[in-house]
Chain A
Amino acid sequence: MSGYFSDLYHGTKSLLVGLGVTFKEMLKPTVTVHYPRETLTITPNYRGHIELVSDEKTGGSLCITCGMCARACPSACISIHSEKPEGSKKKILTGFELDFTRCSLCGICVESCPTDAIAYSQEYNLAGYSREEFHMDLLGRLGKGGGSLT
């Protein structure tokens, strides 16, 4: 019987305290960010999809087409196309494609690149209507200023 009344007393008290907590919280300002109208600044360390880094001198890519990144990628989402022009020792990059639908944003490719030719982009709100929109031609983006990150 003593449990009966102490339950009643402590129970009621705890319930009132609970109401107090929510009431106080209710009067505080909201913490929501109204997304399309307000945006947060993204940390510079954000890991978005990868992007080719442009060479400051030539404006081209720093990539030496060694293929390290493509080999290191766990999801095999990088494909590199290169050709060796006549008389030249070095291969040049003719295409760098990223299948972003499979990328896990792990960053292993970035780490494995010997020339730091790839970096993360800051893009976080990608959306599209088809899969193909995420098969990105990174070399093409580089030309259009998409990859001007350094």
Chain B
Amino acid sequence: MKTEAFKDESRHRFLLNMGPQHPATHGVLRLVLEMDGEYVVHLDPVLGYGHRMHEKMAEARPWPSFLPNTARMDYLAALPYNHGYVCLIEKLAGVEVPRRAECIRVATSELNRVASHLLWLGAFLLDLGAFTPILYGFDDREQILDILEDITGSRLTYSYFRVGGVYRDVDDRFVENTRVFIKRMRKRLDIYNKLVTDNIIFIKRTEGIGVISPEMARRYGVTGANLRGSGIAYDIRKTEPYSIYPELDFEIPVGSRGDCFDRYLVRIKEIEQSLRIIEQALDMLPEGEFRGKAPKKIKLPPRAASFAVEAARGELVYFMVGQDSDVPYRLKVRVPSYANLSLIAELCQGMLIADLVSVMGSLDLVIPEIDR
């Protein structure tokens, strides 16, 4: 913005510590800001407050015992994390998954994605100072949690997928409730559009703020809605489709300018697309097994494999090296938020502190996922 002024070293600057208990750094992120008045000159994210050694834990226990951990990295969209992990093991061990299970996996993952986006919407608007949308978002999210609780038994950290299928079959009630929810959600999107998308204050706060150019996004390895907001239609569900995604008919919404507003719009449109996916997955839900015959004990072969899925925040990759035992030699998790956060230092240079908050909100960071 006012970059010339920043080059002037004689100007008085000061350090501002933002977080780890600041209302806008959801979770425990700490930013050390060098400020010139209300402008951010330089910024350093400090990570690690939520470090729980997930990757190390994976090296110290048999692979089935790591499954609950996957749900705890990104607790807002735990199912895609389960999904990536079980798919990786299935790939390593060559396990077939029945079709019914695949449909259930996709439907529930997408429900989870909608829930995550709704929470993000609320948190983002909270960052911008609007207190009401978060409660509307929670109201809708509650419906999803109820649906998922009914089949998985828990509300947040599901551990629902198992190698070879899912942990419990779904019933007609699930299908029915989900359809009711989809109808309701479509109506609610209208409210969000009226209350938020069209709001002039919201538009002014997000339009042209925090523009991520496609080049910059590539350089930092940004994925997910943040990348699509910059106009690159990169979505693992389309580019490297897994599960039943190739058979589904859905679009990848992209933005054009790469500002906060585009990232917002992309996520709102993704909710719509996710609803479409869920509908189709429910339509094609076949009768049959929900959990295939997976061998009781799977030894992980001594080779490396990786599997990528599209989590709610972007590309999630599990990379595993086996060692002829059921304990993996190494598990590396590539979480989307880490890359999405890494560009913030460059992006926010010369920004007003109010815009910094808005950019951080729009990036949809989940800090425990970054820290792992």
Contact = CB atoms under 8 A, between A and B. Distances in A.
Interface string B121-145: 0000000000010001001001000
A11 B159 contact: no
Contacts of B157: 104-105
B151 interface: yes
B200 A14 contact: yes
B156 to A, nearest CB: 10
A45 B153 contact: yes
Nearest to B69: A74
Contacts of B325: none
Contacts of A73: 65
Nearest to B139: A31
Interface stretch (A15-23, A80-88, A92-100, A134-142): A15-23
A32 to B, nearest CB: 10
B68 A46 contact: no
B191 A21 contact: yes
A15 B199 contact: yes
A66 interface: no
Interface in A1-52: 7, 10-12, 14-15, 17-18, 20-22, 25, 31, 43, 45-47
Specify which of B61, B69, B200 lies most central, judged by the most chain A CB atoms within 10 Å of its CB.
B200
A17 B65 contact: no
A134 to B, nearest CB: 18
A17 B150 CA distance: 37
A111 B167 contact: yes
Nearest to B159: A106
Contacts of B61: 74
Contact of A74 (B68, B139, B149, B151): B68
Nearest to B171: A45
State the majority secondary structure of interface residues on A. Answer: helix
A104 B69 CA distance: 9
A22 B66 CA distance: 45
A21 B195 contact: yes
Contacts of A22: 132, 195
Interface string B188-225: 00010011001111000000000000000000000000
The 4 A-B pairs of least Cβ separation, nearest first, read: A47-B153, A11-B200, A74-B65, A106-B68
Interface of B: 61, 64-69, 72, 132, 136, 139, 142, 149-154, 157, 159, 162, 167-168, 191, 194-195, 198-201
Given A45-B168, A73-B65, A111-B162, 17 more contacts: A18-B199, A21-B194, A22-B195, A25-B191, A31-B142, A43-B149, A45-B152, A46-B153, A47-B153, A72-B65, A74-B61, A74-B66, A104-B157, A104-B159, A107-B153, A108-B65, A111-B167
28 contacts: A7-B200, A11-B200, A14-B198, A14-B199, A15-B199, A15-B200, A17-B198, A18-B199, A20-B194, A21-B195, A22-B132, A22-B195, A25-B136, A31-B142, A43-B150, A45-B149, A45-B153, A46-B149, A46-B153, A47-B152, A72-B64, A74-B65, A74-B67, A104-B68, A104-B72, A105-B157, A107-B167, A111-B167
